[in-house]
Amino acid sequence: MIFSLTAHRVLDLLFPERCVLCGGYLSFRSRRGPFPVCGDCAGSFVPEAGPRCAVCSMPLISEDRLCMRCRGRERRFADNHSLFLYSRPRVARALAAYKGEGATGLAIFFGDFLADHLRGMDPGLVLVPVPCRRESLTRRGFDQVLLLCRALRRRHGFRYRRLLVRSGGGREQKTLNRTDRETNLRGAIQPKKSIRGGVPKRVVLLDDVFTTGATADACAGVLTAMGVERVSVLTIAID
- Residue 18's identity, in one-letter code, is R
The predicted pLDDT at position 8 comes to 46
The yes-or-no verdict on residue 66 having pLDDT over 60 is: yes
Whether residue 11 is found in the same domain as residue 65: no
Which residue segment(s) compose the domain that 13 sits in? Answer: 1-44
Whether residue 173 is found in the same domain as residue 205: yes
Residues 180, 172: contact at Cβ < 8 Å? no
Whether residue 95 is found in the same domain as residue 201: yes
Whether residue 33 is found in the same domain as residue 68: no
Whether residue 30 is found in the same domain as residue 58: no
**Mean pLDDT of the residues in the chain:** 88
Whether residue 72 is found in the same domain as residue 166: yes
The predicted pLDDT at position 107 comes to 98
Number of folded domains that form the chain: 2
For residue 238, what are the β-bridge partners? 85, 210
CA dihedral 26, 28, 34, 36 (to 10 degrees): 0
For residue 133, the domain's CATH number is 3.40.50
Whether residue 199 is found in the same domain as residue 119: yes
Whether residue 187 is found in the same domain as residue 213: yes
Question: What sign results for the dihedral spanned by CA atoms 134, 137, 140, 144?
Answer: positive
The model's pTM is 0.87
Whether residue 141 is found in the same domain as residue 24: no
What one-character DSSP code corresponds to residue 44?
T
Q: For residue range 136-194, list pLDDT tens digits in order.
A: 888 999 999 999 999 999 999 999 999 999 986 555 555 555 566 666 677 789 999 88
| Cα 76 to Cα 33: distance, rounded to the nearest angstrom | 37
CA end-to-end span of the chain: 46
